[in-house]
Amino acid sequence: MKKKDIYLDALPLEEAKDVFFGELERAGIFSKKSVEEINVSESLGRITAEPIFSKISSPHYNAAAVDGIAVLSERTYGASETTPIILSKGEFEVVDTGDPLPPNMDSVIMMEDVNFISDEKVEIIFPALPWQNVRLIGEDVVATELIVPENHRLRPQDIGAILAGGHVNIKVYKKPVFVIIPTGTELVNPGEELKPGDIIEYNSKVFKALLAEWGAEALIFEKHKDDYYRIKEAVEKALKIADGVIINAGSSAGREDFTANIIKDLGKLLVHGVSIKPGKPVILGLVENKPVLGIPGYPVSAFLTMELFAKPLVLRMQGQSFTEREKIRAICTRRIVSSIGSEEFVRVKIGKIGDEFVVSPLHRGAGTITSLVRADGILRIPANKEGIEAGDCVEVELLKDKKEIENTVVIIGSHDVAIDILANEVKRRYPEINLSSANVGSMGGIMALKRKEAHAAGMHLLDVDTGEYNIPYIRRYLRDEKIVLVNLAFREQGLIVMKGNPKNIKGIEDLKRKDITFVNRQKGAGTRLLLDLKLKQLNISPEKIRGYDREEFTHLAVAAQVAGGTADCGLGILSAAKALDLDFIPVSPERYDLAILYEYFEMEAVQKVLEVLRSVEFKEKLKVLGGYDTSLTGEIIGGD
Ligand SMILES: Nc1nc2c(c(=O)[nH]1)N[C@H]1C(S)=C(S)[C@@H](COP(=O)(O)OP(=O)(O)OC[C@H]3O[C@@H](n4cnc5c(N)ncnc54)[C@H](O)[C@@H]3O)O[C@H]1N2
Ligand code: MOO
């Protein structure tokens, strides 16, 4: 195995781009575009390599534009209701839309305005103007006229116009071809059985789809184990058939990260390491006058560096310019810390609450591809800033249509699988409406409503003194807000335990046992309050419980700890236990409500969400999930 040198720069993004694109420009990458001739009907999305002039005029003859009779307009002058004109056969000819105009006639009268006396004779009561209801030669396009210029990305309507102009084949630029080489000994193909340490190889499929979106063609090579010589061989093979090569993973400083050395040994290593996060270890090089990119393995880093470097590359190779995404200004709901020295790209959820856009950061891990699925936008934190404060106004690049964001009902608070089911039902019934939910616990939801960061909050807050759910908290913390409280469902809370309950846990009283490790929910979570109430009732002090201080943020995260064997049990809902095939010991039913800010209650999207909430289909889906009582689902519990 070849020894490697480890060195990683931290070039600012713009500088890295200048180095890379400057070198590619000098190498003539953007000026040598190859051309191919293709059939017009297959040209969607392709880029014209020459201006396309019409070969013929369209229409190429004078054509009737309506069904009626063709006449010589002169013969109709003076016609009126009191002085109708009778035309005989030869003076008129019946024509259909699209028929050529007969010789010596210059006008068409619509059938509705013609009184047929016989097959031979018609009566008209209006004069016809010359060329009325006639599509003249070249009305659409005149021979020699320009239909689309060179360097134009072809759209469906262009295809029609080019065919109408008499073309069958046209010259377009060849699509740039990229070879993608996934590397990593841990990779397995989708669908293969997973052993610990195995990672499903999907980055290459994401790259192929991105490249297709940008107009390039992609060939995926079989994944390669981390082996210097094998990967090098694959790169050499790729260079023979492609215009550019993308090597995925092996970009950083690990024992088996070879990409940078391979590029250095084969050609010119231009950049290794850019001060962006995620995406820092990106590698940019030139081998045999072709761009070779080393894209980091972490899926988010990979996606982002593809967008930052491969997208402008692919577009410029086709002579296309790069258009930036739409940006909006929004209020940041939470503090986001960022390290000085790297420009950070934070995936965010965006909601429109009243007149204001608000953004909340999503999971920041570079391995979370789902954060890109959930993201509505990307917030860039410059390298010289330590972060963003809650309440700051920020600029965000949109990953979605603004309209889609405006049609989104934002629910922040405690998480429940029922909210996901509701979101899905809403989308199924009303494709134009979205329901977005963020998980910050019940108290977090209350605070979000107070700060007007959500339309509604999901909560299950038990008041220990009165035994009442939610209302006492709303009265206490949302005194100045008008709220409508709607029931989502009653749900069973219980202890989530390992399959088969090997430690024979029977209830809350067992939590004080020395052989049991618990996993708790975060402070402010309704489930935590329920636990504290139960502990109080049973006179158990929290210090007696091993793991009381270990906090997770969702029911599923608690279940995952139990499934992973790092805890024996945790308090949560049945659906979370079922999702991970665990056992469940019921402890207590609880009421889970949606608190809706009254000012948004009448919003059309909110009303549609409530309609879905009350639907039989939604309730049925909860029943199938198990652990829910829907007897009050959708009903208004209270409001003030
Ligand atoms: N000592 C250091 N360690 C790391 C550094 C560093 O600077 N010094 N940088 C970190 C950063 S930042 C990133 S990003 C990653 C980049 O890692 P590599 O490009 O070398 O990639 P791997 O380590 O092989 O993989 C990372 C991760 O991504 C998964 N992966 C890889 N390929 C695929 C694929 N085709 N489909 C799906 N997932 C894939 C892989 O299994 C790993 O989980 O390095 C840090 N470390
Ligand atoms: O650059 Mo890495 O991509 O931060 O995780």
Question: For the segment 549-604, what is each residue's pLDDT rounded down to a tens digit?
Answer: 999 988 889 999 999 999 999 999 998 899 899 999 999 999 999 999 999 999 99
ipTM of the complex: 0.97
Phi/psi at 497 (5° precision): -130, 165
Q: Is 462:469 a contact under the CB 8 Å cutoff? A: yes
453 occurs within a structural domain: no
Please tell me the distance from the alpha carbon of residue 338 to that of residue 276, in angstroms, as a whole number: 11
For ligand 1, the distance from its centroid to the CA atom of residue 411, given in whole angstroms, is 34
3-state SS, one letter per residue, for 325-377: CCEEEEEECCCEECCCCCEEEEEEEEEEECCEEEEEECCCCCCCHHHHHHCCE
Q: Is 461:413 a contact under the CB 8 Å cutoff? A: no
Instruction: Indicate if 185 and 291 belong to the same structural domain.
Output: yes
Choosing from 127, 153, 173, the residue where a domain stops is 173
Higher pLDDT, 225 or 486: 486
- Give the DSSP H or E segment for 625: helix 616-625
Please tell me the distance from the alpha carbon of residue 202 to that of residue 207, in angstroms, as a whole number: 9
Higher pLDDT, 246 or 2: 246
Instruction: Indicate if 100 and 211 belong to the same structural domain.
Output: no
Residue nearest to atom 4 of ligand 2 (CA): 278
Q: How confident is the model at residue 255 (pLDDT cuts 50, 70, 90)?
A: low
Q: Nearest-CA neighbor of 509 among 543, 548, 545?
A: 545
Q: Is the pLDDT of residue 7 over 60?
A: no
Please tell me the distance from the alpha carbon of residue 619 to that of residue 606, in angstroms, as a whole number: 18
Question: Which mutation among 11, 271, 280 tests ligand 2's pocket best, with the greatest number of atoms within 8 A of CB?
Answer: 280
Start-to-end CA distance of the chain, whole Å, equals 72
For ligand 2, the distance from its centroid to the CA atom of residue 252, given in whole angstroms, is 9
Query: Which residues 6+ apart lie within 8 Å of 251 measured at CB?
Result: 257, 259, 260, 272, 281, 282, 283, 294, 295, 296, 297
Instruction: Indicate if 489 and 552 belong to the same structural domain.
Output: yes
412 occurs within a structural domain: no
The mean per-residue pLDDT over the stretch 288-304 comes to 97
100 occurs within a structural domain: yes
CATH of the domain at 491: 3.40.190.10
3-state SS, one letter per residue, for 195-212: CCCCEECCHHHHHHHHHH
pLDDT above 70 as % of the chain: 98
Choosing from 120, 147, 173, the residue where a domain stops is 173
CATH of the domain at 118: 2.170.190.11
Instruction: Indicate if 308 and 345 belong to the same structural domain.
Output: no
Please tell me the distance from the alpha carbon of residue 238 to that of residue 244, in angstroms, as a whole number: 8
Domain that holds residue 476: 458-639
Give the predicted TM-score (pTM) of the model.
Answer: 0.86
Instruction: Indicate if 541 and 589 belong to the same structural domain.
Output: yes
The mean per-residue pLDDT over the stretch 263-280 comes to 95
Q: Which residue has the tokens 């046992």?
A: 513
Please tell me the distance from the alpha carbon of residue 349 to that of residue 330, in angstroms, as a whole number: 11
Q: Is the peptide bond before 472 cis (omega within 30 degrees of 0)?
A: no
Instruction: Indicate if 152 and 185 belong to the same structural domain.
Output: no
Instruction: Indicate if 70 and 153 belong to the same structural domain.
Output: no
Count of domains observed in the chain: 5
5 occurs within a structural domain: no
Instruction: Indicate if 160 and 226 belong to the same structural domain.
Output: no
446 occurs within a structural domain: no
Sign of the C-alpha dihedral computed for residues 108, 109, 112 and 115 taken in this order: negative
CATH of the domain at 394: 2.40.340.10
Please tell me the distance from the alpha carbon of residue 102 to that of residue 92, in angstroms, as a whole number: 9
Q: Is the pLDDT of residue 5 over 70?
A: no
Instruction: Indicate if 158 and 236 belong to the same structural domain.
Output: no
298 lines ligand 1 (CB under 6 A): yes
Instruction: Indicate if 195 and 288 belong to the same structural domain.
Output: yes
- Tokens for 585? 């010991």
Query: Which residues 6+ apart lie within 8 Å of 58 measured at CB?
Result: 138, 139, 140, 141, 164, 165
Please tell me the distance from the alpha carbon of residue 174 to that of residue 541, in angstroms, as a whole number: 73
Q: Which pLDDT score is estimated for 526?
A: 84
- Give the DSSP H or E segment for 555: helix 555-563
554 lines ligand 2 (CB under 6 A): no
Instruction: Indicate if 541 and 563 belong to the same structural domain.
Output: yes
299 occurs within a structural domain: yes
The mean per-residue pLDDT over the stretch 68-75 comes to 96
Query: Which residues sit opposite 491 in a β-bridge?
Result: 590, 628
413 occurs within a structural domain: no
436 occurs within a structural domain: no
250 lines ligand 1 (CB under 6 A): yes
Question: Which mutation among 252, 271, 272, 298 tests ligand 2's pocket best, with the greatest number of atoms within 8 A of CB?
Answer: 298
Which segment of 264-268, 287-291, 337-341 scores lowest on mean pLDDT? 337-341
CATH of the domain at 166: 3.90.105.10
Please tell me the distance from the alpha carbon of residue 213 to that of residue 211, in angstroms, as a whole number: 5
Instruction: Indicate if 560 and 607 belong to the same structural domain.
Output: yes
